[in-house]
Structure 1
């Protein structure tokens, strides 16, 4: 229990607290500190009156100045948009393939595209556009649906397997789940696919798999297995893998299919932003 007593040296009462023989004096606050504290109270009352401060059910108190930092931000953004309206209009009306020939316009597009990519695309494709399993690497110039700037623009604007009317579609069938192939056939064709970019695969399985591939897979991936951008069918000869290049992952892809979705940005971003991102992404891997 705390025991208040008078300190012999200072003559000041203690608070009754004791830490290993060290006692706390109950000295009053300095006058300057108290007056500063009172001043902050007065200041806060004035702030409540002058500036927006109190939240209400569906709004907030406006204050006699009617100031709003949000409104100030909107004004600044509007001013920025007004200042670059002419170059934005020029970008929207330009042929994407020709923008590179206009250094000022191209630099504007790349700068804006870099910022907008970070806000809208990096969550899936990575901050460095390096991708992840199921999300394409945008740096390697290996394109599922075509690498021209117009093809990239179409992918971003309308998406892949999205809910947009103009989206592109193309699915990897589930050959085992839908009973198109037997389990051994799936393993064999996976072995054949791996043999296209790896040495030392099982030669007998590769031979059997090549026959299965010709009958079931060549229509999309091509007889030479180099893919087809019309269907979003990847090149199987370059050792660049969308979901992973180990045999089990490839077996899973063949057995159960793949149908990832790229969202359509047509109704989320304005035309200028979509074009900026398209040109920026095209610049990362060199494009086609």
Structure 2
């Protein structure tokens, strides 16, 4: 709870909780002395509320067993709030937290799995990628940690790279993939809003022309100079990109945000921001090794298999 509220909210929540319990206890004890009252004719008095002709609302005292159960529930609630978090920012005398329990569970699981992963740590990534059992484990890791963005088939989607081809923003060697998993990546394409609409359209056609797509040749010719002045610093004069910066190759037909003229103009005018989160605090070295091998194998083993056909 302390993760979401400042100290003021913590005090407020604690007061509301305590007042609620005290009010419940007051209500319980205020009603325990209620006595059964009788009418002069000897019948039990009621509140005067009658439904369906003969259904009368009485005002009998609470059953003793019910009162004791209610009282024990309140006592249990107070004891729980003393031992465990529940009163605003108060952590409880036992120091328990769901985050701590989760981390302990993860550490225990990692220790249990470490012997299973141990033999693969001594193997080269490319050999691990070729091992059927390692591939199965790597796939499970991928589905747990990567599929949410890249898809269960690693095919990606708009803004999330396809990991099953050989087009890599930061390099596709095992060391590059491992670095990406551990440290994450922050890809930034700055906005070029200072370019006029004509210039944006011209350079978009030039980029499409470099990729072998249909383009207006007149616009493409004008866009060459715009590209040279604004884009070549990152993507290179030949448009083949720069893995050191994560600048994509613009001469192939692989597009992260779409290769239509409108999509390219949007990228130029508004820029793009891509974030691959770091996993070094989440994954053990053994899991990173298996996951690196699995991701590397998605494209490289497929190419090897296709070349053997």
Give the TM bin, normalised by the shorter chain.
0.5 to 0.7
**Partner deviation per Cα, 1:28-64 (whole Å, 9 max, x = no partner):** xxxxxxxxxxxxxxxxxxxxxxxxxxx97579xxxxx
Q: Give, in angstroms, the shift of residue 202 of structure 1.
A: 1.3
Q: Secondary structure at the match of 1:191?
A: helix
Match of 2:198 among 184, 187, 199: 184
Paired residues for 1:15-30 under 5 Å = none
Calculate the TM-score normalised by the size of structure 1: 0.63
- 1:201 is matched with which residue: 215, 218, 237? 215
Matched with 1:223 is 237
Matched, 1:88 2:127: no
Over 3 Å counting, the alpha-carbon distance change for 1:79 and 1:147 in structure 2 is: closer
1:118 aligned onto 2:143: yes
From 172, 175, 179, the equivalent of 1:154 is: 179
Q: Report the structure, 1 or 2, having the larger helix content.
A: 2
Judging changes above 3 Å, is the alpha-carbon distance between structure 1 residues 275 and 182 closer, same or farther for their aligned structure 2 residues?
Answer: same
- 2 CA distance for matches of 1:139 and 1:103? 14
Once residues 211 and 119 of structure 1 are traced to their aligned partners in structure 2, the CA distance between those partners, rounded to angstroms, is 46
List per-residue Cα deviations over 1:135-191 (Å, max 9, x = no partner).
001111110110011101110111012xxxxxxxx4211011xx2x22221111001
Instruction: Tell me, in whole angstroms, the C-alpha distance in 2 between the residues paired with 1:205 and 1:247.
Output: 12
TM-score by length of 2: 0.59
Matches of 2:254 and 2:244, distance apart in 1: 19
- Could you tell me which runs of 5 or more consecutive residues in structure 2 were left unpaired when the two chains were aligned: 1-75, 84-103, 304-309
172, 180, 189: which is aligned to 1:172? 189
Per-residue deviation, residues 9-33 of structure 1 (Å, max 9, x unmatched): xxxxxxxxxxxxxxxxxxxxxxxxx
Distance 1:79 1:229, change over 3 A: closer
Q: Does the 8 Å CA contact 2:241/2:250 hold for their aligned counterparts? A: yes
What is the aligned length?
Answer: 205
CA contact (8 A) 1:109 1:275 kept: no
How many Å apart are 1:86 and its aligned residue? 3.8
5+ residue gaps, structure 1, are 1-54, 60-73, 162-169
